[in-house]
Amino acid sequence: MSSRNNRNPNRFEIDMTPLHDFMRQMDSFFNNSFKQMNEHFQFKPFWVDVTEDEKQFIIEADLDGYTRDQIQIEVTGNQLRIGVEDHEIEDEKDSKRAYHYRKQRLNKNERVITLPFDIPKKETKASFRNHVLVITIPKQNSARNFIDIDAD
């Protein structure tokens, strides 16, 4: 029986260095690939801050580079979706060389914020100034009903 145990190495005797090296290479590959992809496709992510006080939630989105017409705000139940779309067409014609060059780019981004109650559409306010979208959602609204608990 002792010869049988000698054929199986202990778990501490296995050299895991090749596996760790492989895992580091894979991490590096994916990290670098996404960095290069961001530079190549020119993604324009936007940041969202959600703050809360006693009366309301305040959502601020930094939308530098977007106009009011490129922004969509959608309310579905307790979720708020902020979507932005950037569409650009570049046209270049040269009649002397008889060519037409056209380049199109479409960029869509969105963020979804979930709140602990249904968002009242009528009472929610939004403004867009200096490339900052500010959405104010009141906590107390006509659509919410609270039930009193009777004391026995």
Cα torsion through 26, 39, 132, 119, rounded to 10? -40
Contact between 69 and 83 (Cβ < 8 Å):
no
- The per-residue pLDDT for range 11-53, each reduced to its tens digit, is 567 777 788 788 888 887 777 766 666 555 555 678 899 999 8
Specify whether 62 is located in the same domain as 124.
Answer: yes
Task: Provide the CATH number for the domain around residue 84.
Answer: 2.60.40.790
| Alpha helices per DSSP H over the chain | 2-7, 17-41
Amino acid at 34: F
Which of 2-11, 21-30, 109-118, 139-148 has the lowest average pLDDT?
2-11
149 lies in some domain: no
Residue with tokens 């009777």, as numbered in its chain: 150
Contact between 106 and 124 (Cβ < 8 Å):
no
Average pLDDT on 132-143 reads: 82
Domain carrying residue 7: 2-36
Specify whether 55 is located in the same domain as 119.
Answer: yes
- The per-residue pLDDT for range 54-66, each reduced to its tens digit, is 899 999 999 988 8
* Radius of gyration in angstroms for the set of CA atoms belonging to the chain, rounded to a whole number: 28
Least Cα distance to 81 among 107, 46, 123 occurs for 46
Specify whether 128 is located in the same domain as 59.
Answer: yes
Specify whether 74 is located in the same domain as 25.
Answer: no
Burial of 65-96, coded b for 16+ CB within 10 Å and e otherwise, reads ebeeeebeeebeeeebebebeeeeeeeeeeee
151 lies in some domain: no
Domain count, the chain: 2
Concatenate the DSSP letters of all residues of 18-33 into one string: HHHHHHHHHHHHHHHH
Specify whether 64 is located in the same domain as 107.
Answer: yes
